[in-house]
């Protein structure tokens, strides 16, 4: 079902639940994996995905269609992730790097990465990036978003996003190179 059709149905109180259910089914996997890449842990990703859709339900009536529904939902999910990571740091008085180290430890323990050393190093390098730079990297590298779409999601200018992605790639390449030569 097209986004426009979902939005039209959502305005009708009798069809609202059906429309929302279709919206969830359409975007749940994208939202889940977007969140999962940021927080790594499945349970955290599950909570944040649900919270994202609850917020979508609460605010969909006010959604102005100057952005696409897809980027609007991504924006909510992104804010949820960044708030979660920030509150985690605040709660445990952790410096910036410690959450990255915690996430990296989860990557280390992931059985899917056993035997894939370069892939493991790449994932650890991504998790060492600051949250916002990691977000930019994920949106470009994995979700293959255009810079314009990314600007809608992050509320950042296209120029700043290009610079951020470029720096993220350089940092990742440097980390993986150094880790590989240390082995």
Answer for which of 35, 81, 85, 176 binds other proteins (CB under 8 A) is 176
CB 153 within 8 A of CB 72: no
Q: Is position 82 an interface residue for other proteins (rule: CB under 8 A)?
A: no
Alpha carbon separation from 123 to 16, 41, 146, 171 (Å, rounded): 40, 14, 22, 12
Question: Taking the mean position of all CA atoms in its chain, how far away is CA 170?
Answer: 20
Number of residues lying near other proteins (CB under 8 A): 45
Least Å distance, CB 42 to other proteins, is 6
Q: Is position 166 an interface residue for other proteins (rule: CB under 8 A)?
A: no
- Cβ closer to other proteins: 40 or 151? 40
Answer for which of 4, 29, 83, 157 binds other proteins (CB under 8 A) is 29
Alpha carbon separation from 77 to 27, 49, 122, 163, 177 (Å, rounded): 11, 7, 24, 23, 32
Answer for which of 6, 10, 19, 32 binds other proteins (CB under 8 A) is 32
Distance CA 176, CA 165 (A): 17
The residue with tokens 């859709």 is 53
Q: Is position 25 an interface residue for other proteins (rule: CB under 8 A)?
A: yes
Burial of 15 (0-12, 13-18, 19+ CB in 10 A): middle
Alpha carbon separation from 115 to 72, 81, 123, 174 (Å, rounded): 38, 30, 14, 21
Q: Is position 42 an interface residue for other proteins (rule: CB under 8 A)?
A: yes
Q: Is position 37 an interface residue for other proteins (rule: CB under 8 A)?
A: yes
Q: Is position 105 an interface residue for other proteins (rule: CB under 8 A)?
A: no
Q: Is position 69 an interface residue for other proteins (rule: CB under 8 A)?
A: no
Q: Is position 49 an interface residue for other proteins (rule: CB under 8 A)?
A: yes
Please give the torsion angle defined by the CA atoms of residues 131, 133, 136 and 137, in that order, rounded to the nearest 10 degrees.
Answer: -100
Residues at the contact surface with other proteins, assessed by CB under 8 A: 16-17, 20-21, 24-25, 28-29, 32-33, 36-37, 40, 42, 45-46, 49-50, 53-54, 57-58, 107, 110-113, 116, 118-119, 122-123, 126, 141-142, 169, 172-173, 176-178, 180-183
């Amino acid at each position: 079902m097209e986004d426009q059709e979902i939005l039209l149905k959502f305005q009708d109180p009798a069809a609202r639940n059906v429309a929302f259910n279709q919206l969830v089914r359409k975007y749940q996997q994208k939202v889940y994996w977007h969140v999962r890449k940021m927080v790594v842990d499945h349970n955290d990703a599950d909570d944040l995905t649900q919270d994202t859709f609850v917020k979508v339900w609460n605010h969909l009536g006010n959604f102005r269609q100057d952005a696409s529904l897809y980027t609007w939902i991504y924006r909510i999910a992104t804010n949820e992730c960044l708030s979660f990571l920030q509150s985690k740091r605040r709660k445990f008085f952790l410096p910036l790097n410690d959450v990255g180290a915690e996430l990296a430890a989860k990557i280390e323990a992931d059985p899917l990465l056993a035997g894939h050393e370069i892939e493991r190093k790449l994932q650890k390098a991504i998790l060492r990036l600051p949250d916002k730079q990691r977000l930019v990297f994920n949106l470009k590298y994995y979700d293959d978003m255009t810079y314009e779409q990314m600007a809608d999601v992050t509320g950042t200018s296209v120029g700043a996003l290009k610079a951020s992605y470029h720096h993220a790639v350089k940092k990742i390449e440097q980390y993986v190179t150094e880790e590989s030569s240390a082995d």
